[in-house]
Amino acid sequence: MSYTLIIAEKPDAARRIAEAIADKKPRVITKNNVPYYEFTVNGKKHICVPAVGHLFVLNPSKKHNPKGWNYPVFDLEWIPTYTKKETNWTEKYFKNIEELAKNATEFIDAADVDTEGEVLLYNILRFICGVKDAKRMKFSTLTKDELVESYKNMENHIMFPMLESGLTRHALDAFWGFNTTRALTLALKSQAERGFAILSSGRVQSPTLAMLLEMELEIRKFKPTPFWQLELHFKANGKEIVATYEEDKIWKKEEAEKILTDCKDNDATVKDIKKRRYKQSPPVPFNTTDLQSEAYSQFKFSPKQTLSIAESLYQAGFVSYPRSSSQKLPPSVNYEKILKSLATLPQYKKFAEELLAKEKLVPVQGKKDDPAHPCVYCTWEVPDITKLTPQQKKIYDLIVRRTLSAFSDEALRESMNVVLDVNGNKFIAQGKRTIEEGWTKIYAPYLAFEEQILPEFKIGQILKILKLDLLSKQTEPPSRYSQGSIVKELEARNLGTKATRAEILQTLYDRRYISGKSIKVTKLGEAVTKALKEYSPRILSEELTRHFERDMEQVFNGKKKREEVIEEAKKTLTDVLDEFKENESKIGKKLLEGLIEARREERRLGNCPNCKTGELRIIFSKKTGKRFCGCSNYPNCKTGFPLPLVGNITPLNKSCEECGLPMIQVWRKGKRPFRMCLLPSCITKSDWNKNKSSTIKKTSSKSE
């Protein structure tokens, strides 16, 4: 029997679509250990089958690239992802769609509504199903009512403008990725007598790394400047209050000391009192970048982790599509229905009911928009909170409170500045307080409002000084980017997309170009960037990256053709690679120096506690291949310590408080990282050694 085949992007989406639009409960059929769903809609047979993200990936064509690993390479082809070892598990999804497509008389595209969704579905349609168009369901949430509406009002065609833009992006990213990665790697290989390392590069990855190194170098060259501050402590209404000198920084010590001398043995007189009331609007609704930045700030979740958690909540129907540039919450999402649903959850009941009592629900809106989706918000389908993971609870609560806050009133705050005169020198005491909480009571768990309430003063009031402090300080270097601030900076510079920035950042970590939560560029990342900056700077060009971002927008808007943008990219990249080849040997030498230094740095764990002049390093035994910690002064110094045999080791650049030996962090796949010092008998490991001893005894007892 023929049927309509609906293709969803992921398994959970397929299930929810089937359950939402079916006349009655769908029949679940499992094939190749993957479920798909058979049902009728108005008596007509449908099957909804899932993909699992991209089932095809761009790869250099072997037919047109017989020489193997070389560059430039512009002949690319889409190949099934299951042909690659690391993604061979996708074959079962591929086979199910292939089998079901044979008897389908109509196809419906039900992928996520963005460029990635359109590209992955188009590839499935043309390469597996043998068609190049389909009807299109468009939705921003996987709630029942929106899916039903999406089915009833589906488009007759897939979204070709979005598809064209997506295909352009895939081609450009592949051109840059394959070619620049090959160029760097082959340059290194030409200089290395032994050993081999893949050095990756990319259209957005390399400019991002250059931006991070720019900050790193700025921090290194920073020279602190000394300055002094004066604090005046006094008591009013039984409370000790601190006032600071009117100039925040005094650059000359003698000037600061003179002020201190002038103020001694004097009282403070209230010279002026300034009060100002001001309103603080609720924060605008989340877009992807705002959510990632806030989740990092509050929970230290990486952007990639945040997106993954939000995606799981979206697949369950609890939040809207988490990949959106929009900060707008349109009326079509049904404000009242969402608030009534949230009122059924105890932790949000009071807030939701107060908002529902308002005469009109008008959310605050941000400036940024997205043609495909509204902001990231919570839907009317609410979860059983007890069934969410701890991470899901945090992200869900963050999104809910941000959504509720958008409908709430402004907060009313008051600032108070009291100017004190001490023998002609002015000091200022500052106070801040909240008069009307407004939205802040909803978003309170994620706020750090300063509440410094000052008593009432009168002009001319005399105050006794408790003490005067002269503080010696230094200017601080600029702060490193965090994982939260870097995605906002990339958005501000129009580098990457809302969907790719987290992946770009993760790639830089995976390639060991950057490290730490407060992002630091490694020796390897520095070597790659400096070599490119000197000999092939256009690979690092932000402007070139932005130029092609604008081109892709024009493809989306129908102002440019995909083919002309791709041809221009080929020409530009050919020029870039010609320049690279001319300097390949010089680049290779720089890369080799950087790689050697990077590996030395990665293996350095700290200073030797015995000989004092050597370094403790990770060393691999030639006999066993196992690693241990040894001194660089061997054989003159035979200091050594065992190391965990499994997992990546990162030096923490600090010493154990008990034994004084260096601390390390051990990362093991699928497990939480742990910290330890190098001394096996350290008191901090007493529980470990006790458990180890107990295990040995039990094993011995069983064998007896």
655-700 confidence digits (pLDDT tens): 898 888 888 888 887 777 888 999 888 888 876 655 554 444 444 4
* pLDDT on residue 689: 55
Among 2.70.20.10, 1.10.4080.10, 3.40.50.150, 3.40.50.300, name the CATH number for the domain at 226-282+411-474: 2.70.20.10
Question: What is 288-407's CATH superfamily?
Answer: Topoisomerase I, domain 4 (1.10.290.10)
Q: How confident is the model at residue 704 (pLDDT cuts 50, 70, 90)?
A: very low
Edge to edge, the sheet with strand 627-631 lists 604-607, 615-620, 627-631, 640-642
Tell whether the model's pLDDT for residue 232 goes beyond 60: yes
46 vs 68: CA distance, rounded Å: 45
* pLDDT on residue 338: 97
3-158 and 168-220+480-595 share one fold:
no
Q: How confident is the model at residue 702 (pLDDT cuts 50, 70, 90)?
A: very low
Three-state DSSP class for residue 500: coil
Q: Is-contact 185 195, C-beta < 8 A? A: no
* pLDDT on residue 195: 55
Mean pLDDT, the chain, rounded, equals: 92
Q: One of 93, 122, 296, 321 is an active-site residue; which one?
A: 321
Tell whether the model's pLDDT for residue 242 goes beyond 60: yes
165 vs 548: CA distance, rounded Å: 11
The DSSP annotation for 274-334 comes to: EEEEEEEPPPPPB-HHHHHHHHHHHH---HHHHHHHHHHHHHTTSB--S--------GGG-
In terms of residues, how long is the chain? 704
| 377 is annotated as an active-site residue | no
Domain boundaries, the chain: 3-158, 168-220+480-595, 226-282+411-474, 288-407, 612-703
Angle, alpha carbons 128-130-133 (nearest 5°): 105
Q: What's this model's pTM, rounded to 2 decimal places?
A: 0.88
Q: Domain 3-158: state its class.
A: alpha beta
234 vs 351: CA distance, rounded Å: 41
Amino acid identity of residue 412, one-letter, is: L
Angle, alpha carbons 146-151-154 (nearest 5°): 110
Q: Is-contact 58 171, C-beta < 8 A? A: yes
Tell whether the model's pLDDT for residue 193 goes beyond 70: no
361-372 confidence digits (pLDDT tens): 999 999 999 988
Residues 91-98 have a mean pLDDT of: 97
Q: Which CATH architecture has domain 168-220+480-595?
A: Orthogonal Bundle (1.10)
